[in-house]
A and B are shown apart, each in its own frame.
Chain A
């Protein structure tokens, strides 16, 4: 059960990570993040079930395709409203979410049905001593860890990754350095959507693929807040906390509490640390 919580938390963490990446770079809260994940799930479904590709190719395809979708959304929908009040931009991301959900239900073969995404991981469990492990959950945890490690290396050591950090910290200075700020922001949207697709694939065995699976974003959002909106490690820790709390709440608390648990955690954390666990207090320069 602990493992189930961690595995679920991993998915929240990845969606929260998507929120945070975009927020840090563009100061926009992208409410379509969950729907990007959902679309990623459908891309995976298409390549896996309809085209019959192997699991790994499916992941690659969904991530790359979603990265392209993310960049297109930035270029076509968000860049034209650059400089508008934050509220307008947030409303637009909510609109994008609706559109994505609508489009998915209209596409033949996708629609409003619920699908299973085949995975190579068995449904089985195995026992080490007294502890029971579910293969599926271990796979989710392992893949999340691998992705997070890859992202860490990218942000820390690659020129583009450091430039993305620089752009998030100070756009004006980034422009003075000759960093193409708009293109970098577009790539951050792509990265964020790619991560969302990955999360969608990991989530698929749990909730199946359907057009409303994006509502999990409503749980990932508190995860980002708990971690301190704008902190990458915070998003991951926040995701894990929410996942664990939910798992325990589902077991030991009255029916129904599980679904509000995430928000209770938010309230408690914000009471004691208003900027979130990893929150930077007023360090960011505009």
Chain B
């Protein structure tokens, strides 16, 4: 474990978490280097969202440590964690449906009070997602799914996070839109230097944009490597990329789809 390399912005050590009697995380250890994109892959119910919620302070871990920029942050209040520099793009977007696009963005900046900086950052996300600028007075609930995802990402950028947690940003989007979203995620990472921890079902996409990857199975990390090497591993190809021997390919595809919603 690379626990004490100074360039790790986030480290989880043996984190366990449960929902009542259901144990969702069974000792997760992972590290995210500053300025990089790290992805966590896993099937439905593996515990991917739970990892992110535990980092955000929505769920308290029952065991283990979470270190962010050197300090322990586990079990802290979500608002405190946002102020420390972590923001969360939740699964399923979770925009405020009756607030306008711009009000949603302002809520993303809730922890800040520098009016000028906020205005600049709103212009910045409008540059990334021009459609949001066109719709800035529209209720967020009336946006399309893809536009809502853009809004959710933008809203998370508004707190000027050092680390962004993204939970399945491709959920429910067309392949084309998924590509666009991922292109912008890499742009944000390169231009703004935000570190990104990305949870995905779309393993192809995630492994393409990320630097390092973990594979999660029922609450445990079962594999980790650079994305380049993960792409080459046979079982990753088989289970997460749907690439088996040519003959059964069609059938596998269908199965995969069903299992991965």
Contacts and interface: CB of A to CB of B under 8 A. Distances in A.
Size range of the chain A interface in the assembly: 10 to 19
A95 interface: no
A165 B140 CA distance: 13
Contacts of A285: 94, 97
Interface in A152-211: 159, 162-163, 165-166, 169-170, 172-180
A169 B96 contact: yes
Contacts of B141: 283
B88 to A, nearest CB: 5
A76 B56 CA distance: 27
Contacts of B88: 176
A82 to B, nearest CB: 15
Contacts of B106: 159, 162
B224 interface: no
Nearest to A173: B94
Contacts of B94: 170, 172-173, 176, 285
> Binding site of A, secondary structure by majority: helix, strand, loop or mixed?
helix
Interface stretch (B78-86, B173-181, B197-205, B215-223): B78-86
B83 A162 contact: no
Given A165-B96, A166-B96, A169-B96, A175 B111 contact: no
Interface string A228-249: 0000000000000000000000
B107 A162 contact: yes
Contacts of A180: 77, 79
B203 to A, nearest CB: 25
Given A163-B107, A163-B110, A285-B94, A177 B99 contact: no
A178 B87 CA distance: 9
A172 B96 contact: no
Given A162-B107, A172-B58, A178-B111, 20 more contacts: A159-B106, A162-B106, A163-B110, A166-B107, A169-B99, A170-B97, A173-B96, A175-B58, A175-B78, A175-B79, A176-B82, A176-B88, A176-B90, A176-B156, A177-B110, A177-B155, A178-B79, A180-B77, A285-B94, A285-B97
